[in-house]
Amino acid sequence: MGETTYYFNSHIYDIWTNNPGYMVDGSEVNNAATAINGDINRLTANSYDGYTDYGTISKVEIRCKAMYANSGSNNCYVQLVPIFGPVLKGDTHSYQLPLSTLAWSSWYDITSDTNAPNSWAWTDIDALNANVVFSKTAPDTYAAYCSKVEIRVTYTGPTTVTFYFNNYAQVAWTAPQNMMDNSTSTWGNATGDSKAHTFDDISAASKPGAITKVYVRWSRRGSSNGSSTNKIAGQMRFTNGDGAFIWDQSFTANAAWSSWTEITSDTNAPSPWTWTDLDNLSITLSTYDVDGNKTFYISSAEVKVEYGILDTLEESVTFTDSIAFITGMPIYYYEPSTTSQFTISSPDILEFSGLEEDDSLIRNYIIVLGTGVRATTSDSTSISTYGRYTYRYKNEDITDSTDAATIAGQILTNYKNSKSKGSFKIKGKTGVTTRQQFTLKMPELGLTSEEYEIVQYNHSITGSGFYTTIYFGEAPWDITREVTNLLRTVY
């Protein structure tokens, strides 16, 4: 399962009174504004590239970042209405605006909206429009501000990577270096019939997966339109021999990419493909059957590879690190981290468990037993609030009364109050460790800059990518940990 997010980057109407273009400039800070009830900003295009097929679409969602200004009761809304087809309206999704601080709405699922496609295709994403409507029942002095509207697409499909050819082995074209620089604005050219150029060496690096499909395309134009007597012939060069001809006669005087042509099972293609086969791959592009003294232009040639990110495991691999696993006991007494190491904000979060207040681990009367030493400490406020919860910790290596008192104090500090616990999933993040402090910003939940401590994290690599799940407050229940804790608990 994969996800990709786009934002609307074009609009019409200009009905929102102040800076309507700021809603589509990609910034989360610049904002369009209006104080007029019913004002519409029609969003007409988004940042999807218009041609990449990532796989089968299972869910489409939209959201906005907005607020209202002027104090008082909140009766201000931004209504998001998807437009399909491009004139068929979907359902109205209303976001009750927060006061004075731009914040993201929830993701609104539009997959099965009224008039939505029965089976979504990537062309539907490309064609998606939306109306952004200000709605209020408050006085006219209330104004809405909206900085960005996003689309999130959930899909299942292969992982893809694209490489370009960056060298040549045979040339009969002028300025061949312009066809190797990964640019579509510089061109090599050839005039007349039977002019061949062979691209060699792609910019490939091995990936952790088995290759399933391989495609090729090139960026081209002509001094006149292509035809049956005015065309380009592409031919792959494999280790075992040459592939079949790929005929290209759909070009015009305007620059454009050819269609992707699958070469996975081409004549003489390797089976199965390896990343070494890609390193050995080359392609020859020739002018063919030219009618007259026509000129052809090529700027770049590319190879697209689909691959499973895991080839030795069926589905996924997960690494887990937890405070509970490290300490092997239900209570930990390390000195807590005091400095936030990183910040997680709402747009970073793919899945969120919600926040829950947890008092199951409260310990407010602590006894530490060592060899010939004992320390006791308690917190009267916690005992009054939650009742008395005793915890005894015994460790024969503790021989100093000061150490015993310090450990008792640290356990009490960590466990005298209830904790907010939860978890969230983000795109893979390296450098995460347990006991790290981090800042969580989710203003839509009232979390403007709250600090929490990581008690467990999971790194997962699946067919759709690398993800990290972070737990704070309390690690999830695990039978191995619980048995270990039970064996080590001192009564």
pLDDT digits (tens, 9 = 90+) for 16-54: 989 999 999 999 989 999 988 899 999 999 998 776 667
Exposure b/e, 367-385, CB count within 10 A at least 16 = b: bbbbeeeebebbbeebeee
Phi, psi of 402 (to 5 degrees): -65, -45
Query: Average pLDDT for residues 217-231, to the nearest whole number?
Result: 84
State yes or no: pLDDT of 73 exceeds 70.
Answer: no
Q: Which pLDDT belongs to residue 340?
A: 80
Mean pLDDT of 224-230: 78
- Give the count of beta carbons closer than 10 Å to the beta carbon of residue 338: 7
Do 415 and 331 touch, CB atoms closer than 8 A? Answer: yes
The owner of tokens 């952004």 is: 132
- The per-residue pLDDT for 203 is 65
Ordered domains of the chain (ranges, CATH): 2-156 (2.60.120.260), 159-308 (2.60.120.260), 316-488 (no CATH)
Specify the pLDDT at position 116.
Answer: 94
More confident residue, 83 or 432: 83
> What's the chain's length in residues?
491
The CA distance from 110 to 112, in Å, is 6
Averaged pLDDT for residues 383-409: 89
For residue 480, give both structure tokens: 């191995």
Which pLDDT band holds residue 1 (cuts at 50, 70, 90)? low
pLDDT at site 207: 58
Q: Are 221 and 254 in contact (CB under 8 A)?
A: yes
List Cβ neighbours of 486 (8 Å cut-off, separation of 6 or more): none
Q: Of the given ranges (1-5, 101-105, 421-425, 449-453), which has the lowest mean pLDDT?
A: 1-5
DSSP-derived pairing of the beta strands 365-369 and 390-394: parallel
DSSP states of 213-261: EEEEEEEEEESS--BTTBEEEEEEEETTEEEEEEEE----SS-EEPPPE
CA distances from 269 to 164, 179, 282, 413, 417 (A): 19, 24, 12, 66, 66
Region class of 113: left (phi > 0), else alpha (psi between -120 and 50), else beta: beta
pLDDT, position 327: 39
pTM over 0.95: no
The string of pLDDT tens digits covering residues 128-185 is: 999 999 998 766 678 899 999 999 999 876 677 888 888 887 778 888 888 888 888 8
**Whole-number Å distance between alpha carbons of 54 and 308:** 13
In order of 174, 200, 295, the CA distances from 170 in angstroms are 12, 9, 19
Dihedral angle over CA of 263, 265, 268, 273, nearest 10: 90
CB 232 within 8 A of CB 285: yes
What pLDDT does 378 receive?
Answer: 95
Check residue 44 and give its pLDDT.
92
pLDDT at 253 over 50: yes
Question: Mean pLDDT, to the nearest integer, of 181-205?
Answer: 80
| Stronger pLDDT, 321 or 109, i.e. the higher one | 109
* Structure tokens, 258: 């050819």
Q: What is the CA radius of gyration of the chain?
A: 31
